Amino acid sequence: MRPTRQLWGVGILAAVLAGLAAVFARPLLLGATVLIGAWLLTRQYLFVTTVRKAKASLTATQALDTSATRVDDATPVTLNVSLERPRSLSLSLEAGIPPAGVVADPLVVSLAPNETTAQQTTTVSWPVAGRHQFEQATLTATDGLFETTVPVGSTPGITVEPRSPRSVYIGKGGDRRAITRGEHEAERFGSGTDPAEIREYVPGDTADKIDWKATARLNALHVREFEADTDRPTMLIVDHRAALSEGPPAESKLAYLREAALATVSRARQLGDPIGLLSIGDAGLTSRFDPATGPGQYVSIRRQLLDLEPTNANERSGSTDDSTGPVTIEETATSSLIAAGRRPNHASLDTTASPGATPADTDRSDAFVRTLEPFYANQQYQTRFESDPLLGAVRTAAATYHDRVWTIICTDDSDPNALYEAVRYSRSKNNDVLVLLTPSVLFRPSGVADVERAYNQYQSFEEFRQKLDRLEGVTALEVAPEERLSTLLAVGHERTQRQGVRQ
Amino acid sequence: MTDGESATGGRVESLLLNRGQADSRRLTGVAALAFVAMFGLAAGPLGVAAGITTALVWVAVGTPYAIAVGHVLIVVLYPAGIDPVSIVIVELGFLVLLLTAAVRASTPGRVVGWTIGAAAGLGGVAWFGVRSQSLWLAAALTTGGLALASYGVYRYELVTLGLVDDSKSTHDTTENL
């Protein structure tokens, strides 16, 4: 409870009168202090009892249209207040929007004396992911002399999910396929933990291999064999060139491929398989992890995948390296992997929209750019390639790891010839190859508005994918947003039906 | 100007005691007449003038300022003092002003009870101070008593509105156990 300015005046008046009574020795003035004090105490008590009744009869709700949203989305929040019966108090209610919610103006509703209902709606945007709990709405009541603030109502929560691909489709022509492999047959015995068979003891078997229960049961020495633990080395080659930035914010081709790659890493970790990573920028390799096991390896690869951002298309044209084929010389040439420090989802950096732009062309007057630029300026290409970076990466993988390796290439269909060559080269080294392809048509800014035209482009993509898939030892799968793909496939289905009717 | 000031037309009064404007004006007039009459009865023609001035202040500014102005006028007009019976009549006149607002409350009886009780309590403290001690001490006791009573109502508000956070004390007690 806080006194208003009016009440302070009254309190000071009472004190001054008491002082005058003492100074002038006139007890009558003390009577004025007594009566003013009685007036003040009565109003104070009346205010407290009225606020208590108002609070008991008040219903305040902070209503959210949805309990879950995505980062930077705006959600309407409605603040509703109602009283069972009118009160003479002046009431105002402020919503308890969490600190993570951003509103242009505070959400406040006011109830003038004798009003019983009020409602106000505003939109709140959520720049921070996580679970955000509303605080109780704050009721401020005043009668002109006193003012008090009381928390009232419920505390709804909202879950803000980070922007990422909503529904990742991985498959062939509309049929979902698994990209990760399960446990694999070792086809030989060794020091594993899975029992394989029981056989008769032969000289040379160690005593600890003897299965005593089987020996007792069969009345002859028997040993138990176990399946040997095997590894399937996997090499992830993830393309994060400028073309991979195509798509809506946080739902680019790279974002979808990243989800697939992360799933592969997760599965390799479960099975304890060695896994490596080569990430390809426009001018060469940006990171390189040779296949290995161990928690550190999986965490490092996962972190690297999460850090990948599309590189600048101009890096390649700016390269002065005149070597041919894969280059293994470590270079220290700096590269602004993220042009001018901006993440590609921001409007100011769109390498696909302005492929001719150089880092120098970016808006250096932006304080944000100037602040971040030095941090990104030191990022380096591990290896630069004169030829196609994808082919260079595949050659690097083959050169550094001589065993048979499961090669997973995550890229798009923007350069089918180079991709085809890279896949064939990998196959020539007797590697199994999985190609995860994103169809560019599904990531265009215009979406699939012109569905007929988009479907034709998708058909071209599908033909290329099938061409890759037909290669021996090669599996080619498409990675795409499920909703857009379903839309296209529905068009194809209708077209097929129409053609069937004509015939 | 706060909402309260605009709603009460500049008078220092609670919104809770500002209902029924038409009835309020009539009642104010009757109370002002009664007050002037009591002032006149206690202090003669000068008292009538003082009563009218006080009533005008009451209508324009509010009860606390009317009480202050009325008492100061009595002291100024009668520097030698007035007899105790007249004092009682004057104070009853002020009590009429105090209780007029109570009629506008949703629970008039409770407001009247609180007003009389508070006046009696503070008056008792003041009377005790004047009778047994010095006037300075009486003034201090009265203002101190008023502040203490106001703080008591404030603490009552915290409890009745559930604004007291007793989790810390509960936690401490549990730890001590």
Question: Tens of pLDDT along A64-97?
Answer: 888 888 888 889 999 998 888 877 788 899 999 9
What is the secondary structure of A340-398 as a DSSP string?
GG--TTSTT--TTT-TT--GGGS-TT-HHHHHHHHHHHT-B-SEE-SS-HHHHHHHHHH
Chain B, residues 126-155, CB within 8 A of chain A, namely: 126, 130, 135-136, 138-140, 142-143, 145-146, 149-150, 153-154
pLDDT mean over A35-57 = 91
Q: Chain B window 101-120: which residues touch A at a Cβ cutoff of 8 Å?
A: 102, 105-106, 111, 114-116, 118-119
Percent of chain B with pLDDT over 90: 25
Please write the tens of the pLDDT for every residue from A194-250. Answer: 777 888 999 888 888 898 999 999 989 999 888 776 677 899 999 999 999 888 877
Task: Look at A357 and A9; give whichever has higher pLDDT.
Answer: A9
Residue A449 above 70 pLDDT? no
Task: Please indicate whether, in this complex, the C-beta atoms of A37 and B146 are within 8 angstroms of each other.
Answer: yes
Q: Are residues A46 and B161, on separate chains, in Cβ contact within 8 Å?
A: no
Q: What is the ipTM for the molecules in this complex?
A: 0.90
Q: Which domain holds residue A137?
A: 60-161
pLDDT for A354: 39
pLDDT in tens, B73-84: 988 888 777 788
Name the helix (H) or strand (E) containing A235.
strand A234-239
Per-residue model confidence (pLDDT) at position A182: 58
> Which residues does A277 contact at the CB level (< 8 Å), separation at least 6?
A235, A236, A237, A238, A287, A288, A289, A301, A304, A305
Mean pLDDT for chain B?
81
User: Which of A301, A492, A336 shows the shortest CA–CA distance to A410?
Assistant: A301
CA–CA separation, A64 and A433 (whole Å)? 48
Lowest mean pLDDT among A127-136, A149-158, A311-320, A353-362: A353-362
Secondary structure (3-state) at A483: helix
Picking from A384, A382, A386, the residue whose alpha carbon sits closest to that of residue A322 is A386
Q: What percent of chain A has pLDDT over 70?
A: 84
Within the 83-102 window of chain A, which residues sit less than 8 Å (CB to CB) from chain B?
Answer: 88-90
Residue A340 has pLDDT above 80, yes or no: no
The tokens for A142 are: 């005043």
Beta-ladder partners of A108: A94
Per DSSP, the three-state class of A155 is: coil
Cβ separation A48–B146 shorter than 8 A? no
Higher pLDDT, B59 or A379: B59
E strands within A65-167? 68-70, 74-83, 90-96, 108-111, 117-125, 130-133, 135-142, 146-152, 157-161
Residue with the bigger pLDDT between B175 and B29: it is: B29
Are A214 and A277 members of one domain? no
- Domain-located, residue A383: no
Across the range B4-8, mean pLDDT stands at: 49
pLDDT tops 90 at residue A24: no
Q: Note the pLDDT of residue B176.
A: 45
How confident is residue B170, by pLDDT bands cut at 50, 70 and 90? low
**Min CA distance, B14 vs chain A (Å)?**
5
* CA-wise closest residue to A391 among A415, A374, A366: A415
Residue A382 placed within a domain: no
Contact A143, A90 (CB under 8 A): yes
The edge-to-edge listing of strands for the beta sheet with A117-125 is A58-64, A74-83, A117-125
Number of CB pairs, chain A paired with chain B, less than 8 A apart = 185
CA A448 to chain centre: 24
pLDDT tens digit sequence for A261-303: 999 999 888 888 899 999 998 888 889 998 888 889 999 999 9
How many Cβ atoms from other residues are within 10 Å of residue A208's Cβ?
6
Q: Mean pLDDT for chain A? A: 81
Tokens of A502: 């004509």
Range scoring the smallest mean pLDDT among A139-153, A203-217, A360-374: A360-374
Q: How far apart are CA A38 and CA A116, in angstroms?
A: 31
Check residue B104 and give its pLDDT.
Answer: 77
pLDDT at residue A386 is higher than 90: no
Which helix (H) or strand (E) segment is A476 a member of?
strand A474-481
With tokens 């324009």, the residue in question is: B60
CB contact under 8 A, B119 and A35: yes
Residue A368 maps to a domain: no
Interface contact flag, A10 B64, Cβ < 8 Å: yes
Chain length of chain A:
503
Cβ neighbours, 10 Å, residue A229: 13
Whether the per-residue pLDDT at B21 is higher than 70: the answer is no
Whether A299 and A409 map to the same domain: the answer is: yes
The reply to whether A150 and A245 lie within a common domain is: no
Task: Average the pLDDT over B121-147 and give the result.
Answer: 89
pLDDT tops 70 at residue A13: yes
Contact B157 A148 (CB under 8 A): yes
What is the reported pLDDT for A112? 83
Q: Do B75 and A10 touch (CB under 8 A)?
A: no
Q: What is the DSSP string of A66-89?
A: -SEEETT-EEEEEEEEEESS--SS
CB A225 within 8 A of CB A196: yes
A83: nearest Cα among A67, A103, A59: A59
Q: Which domain-ending residue is among A23, A39, A55?
A: A55
Residue A60: name the closest of A157, A133, A156, A158 by CA.
A156
Find residues 99-118 of chain A whose CB sits inside 8 Å of chain B: 113
Please give, one letter per residue, the 3-state secondary structure of A431-462: CCEEEEEECHHHHCCCCCCCHHHHHHHHHHHH
Q: Are residues A15 and A96 in the same domain?
A: no
What residues contact residue A387 under an 8 Å CB cut-off, 6+ apart?
A: A324, A325, A326
Top-ranked range on mean pLDDT: pick from A379-388, A432-441, A483-492, B94-103: A432-441
Task: Considering only residues A401 and B127, tell me which one the structure prediction assigns the higher pLDDT.
Answer: B127
What tokens does A59 get? 């219903």
Please check whether residues A109 and A156 belong to one and the same domain. Answer: yes
Does the pLDDT at position A322 exceed 60? no
Contact A73, A156 (CB under 8 A): no
Distances (CA, A) of B47 to A29, A93, A242, B31, B85: 16, 49, 95, 16, 14
Contacts of B2 in chain A (CB under 8 A): 4-6, 142, 144
Question: For residue range A390-442, what is the model confidence (pLDDT) as tens digits?
Answer: 888 888 888 877 777 889 999 999 889 999 999 999 888 888 899 999 999 88
Q: Which of A300, A245, A299, A234 is nearest to A271 (CA)?
A: A234
Mean pLDDT, residues A321-350:
38
> Residues A175, A201: one domain?
no
Residues A393 and A420 occupy one common structural domain: yes
**In angstroms, what separates the C-alpha of B176 from chain A's closest C-alpha?**
31
Residues A480, A439: Cα–Cα separation, whole Å: 7
Instruction: Tell me if chain B has a CB within 8 Å of the CB of A42.
Output: yes
CA dist list (Å): A398 to A290, A410, A427: 11, 17, 10
Q: Is it the case that residue A326 has pLDDT exceeding 50?
A: no
Which neighbouring-strand residues pair with A224?
A198
Q: Which one-letter DSSP state was computed for residue A252?
A: S
Would you say A377 and A334 are in contact if contact means Cβ atoms under 8 Å apart?
yes
pLDDT score, position A221: 92
pLDDT at B175: 46
With 0.90 as the threshold, say if the pTM is over it. no
CA proximity to A476, closest of A422, A434, A423, A444: A434
Strand-pair category, A68-70 with A157-161: parallel
pLDDT number for residue A406: 87
Structural contact between residues A100 and A127, judged by C-beta atoms closer than 8 angstroms: yes
Predicted pLDDT of residue A497: 77
Given the structure tokens 């902070």, which residue do they identify?
A: A62
A51 touches chain B (CB under 8 A): yes
Whether A50 and A64 share a structural domain:
no
- Contacting residues of B for A24, CB less than 8 Å apart: 75
Which site among B85, B116, B135, B136 would you substitute to test the A interface, given the most A Cβ atoms closer than 10 Å to its Cβ?
B135
For position A319, what pLDDT does the model report? 43
pLDDT for residue B115 is more than 60: yes
The predicted pLDDT at position A147 comes to 92
Residues A402 and A272 both lie in one domain: yes
State whether A145 and B123 contact (CB < 8 Å): no
Residues A57-62, mean pLDDT to the nearest whole number: 89
Radius of gyration of chain B (CA): 20
- Which pLDDT does position B3 carry in this prediction? 46
- Count of domains in chain A? 4
The answer to whether the Cβ–Cβ distance between A47 and B14 falls below 8 Å is yes
Check: CB of residue B146 under 8 Å from CB of residue B64. Answer: no
Question: A97 with A131, same domain?
Answer: yes
Closest CB from A13, A33, A38 relative to B118: A38
pLDDT at A408: 93
pLDDT at residue A324, rounded to an integer: 37
DSSP character string of B55-72:
HHHHHHT-HHHHHHHHHH
- Supply the pLDDT for residue B117: 93
CA distance B135 to chain A (A): 5
Residue A346 confidence (pLDDT) above 60: no
Q: What is the pLDDT of residues B137-161, one digit of tens each?
A: 889 999 999 999 999 999 999 999 8
Of B87, B91, B135, the CB nearest to A22: B135
Could you tell me if A305 and A402 lie in one domain? yes
Do A12 and A114 belong to one domain? Answer: no
Question: Is the Cβ pair A46, B114 closer than 8 Å?
Answer: yes
